[in-house]
């Protein structure tokens, strides 16, 4: 995929996540300056603010019926706590539709990566970048041996708000 196609895919992932959050009743905003947060998400009734980092990938189907998706992550963002904490949303495009959104907090993701660092599903790309491989099967999702299925399409951090 070309660099330009990656930009379009990444933006489509951002907008798909924003659309889901808006449908759930949360207000969204894209920061004017991107210093690590892709979307600010606000519950208007009380000002509750969440930071969201969106990572988007086009999945590669496997002969087994499963599919893999590769995500490029910043190690410094993963290791630096902020307040409020960063929530990652991994948006997965399969064929012509959005297949899954993996919604996971930074600390859980960091712990998962620390446990699975020796496997082929995580590759250090540079001093500050790594490539993460998630495998999707049926309703499940794994990172190496770590089961992340509970985070697949789990938007409970952003409960539906009735207006």
Q: Given this model, what pLDDT does residue 118 score?
A: 61
Q: Given this model, what pLDDT does residue 140 score?
A: 96
| Contact indicator for 54, 14 with CB cutoff of 8 Å | yes
Q: Given this model, what pLDDT does residue 114 score?
A: 81
Q: Given this model, what pLDDT does residue 117 score?
A: 66
Q: Given this model, what pLDDT does residue 34 score?
A: 82
| Contact indicator for 151, 91 with CB cutoff of 8 Å | no
Q: Given this model, what pLDDT does residue 52 score?
A: 97
Q: Given this model, what pLDDT does residue 163 score?
A: 73
CATH number for the domain formed by residue range(s) 3-151? 3.40.1350
Q: Given this model, what pLDDT does residue 121 score?
A: 65
Q: Given this model, what pLDDT does residue 127 score?
A: 77
Please tell me the pTM assigned to this model: 0.93
Residues in the chain predicted with pLDDT less than 70, given as ranges, are: 1, 117-121
Pair of tokens at residue 61: 């189907």
Q: Given this model, what pLDDT does residue 90 score?
A: 98
The rounded distance, in Å, linking the Cα atoms of 96 and 84 is 34
Write the CA distances from 102 to 37, 71, 83, 97, 157, integer angstroms.
17, 12, 21, 15, 12
């Amino acid at each position: 995929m070309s660099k330009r196609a990656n930009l379009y895919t990444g933006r489509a992932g951002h907008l798909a996540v924003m659309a889901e959050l808006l449908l759930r009743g949360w207000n969204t905003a894209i920061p004017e300056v991107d210093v690590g947060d892709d979307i600010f998400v606000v519950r208007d009734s009380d000002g509750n603010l969440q930071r969201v980092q969106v990572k988007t990938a086009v999945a590669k189907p496997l002969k087994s019926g499963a599919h893999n998706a590769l995500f490029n992550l910043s190690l410094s963002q993963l290791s630096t706590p902020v307040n409020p904490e960063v929530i990652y949303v991994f948006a997965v495009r399969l064929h012509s539709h959005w297949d899954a959104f993996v919604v996971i907090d930074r600390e859980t993701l960091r712990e998962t990566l620390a446990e699975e660092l020796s496997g082929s599903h995580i590759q250090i790309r540079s001093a500050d970048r790594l490539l993460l491989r998630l495998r999707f099967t049926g309703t499940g999702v794994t990172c190496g041996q770590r089961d992340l299925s509970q985070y697949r399409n789990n938007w409970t951090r952003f409960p539906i708000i009735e207006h």
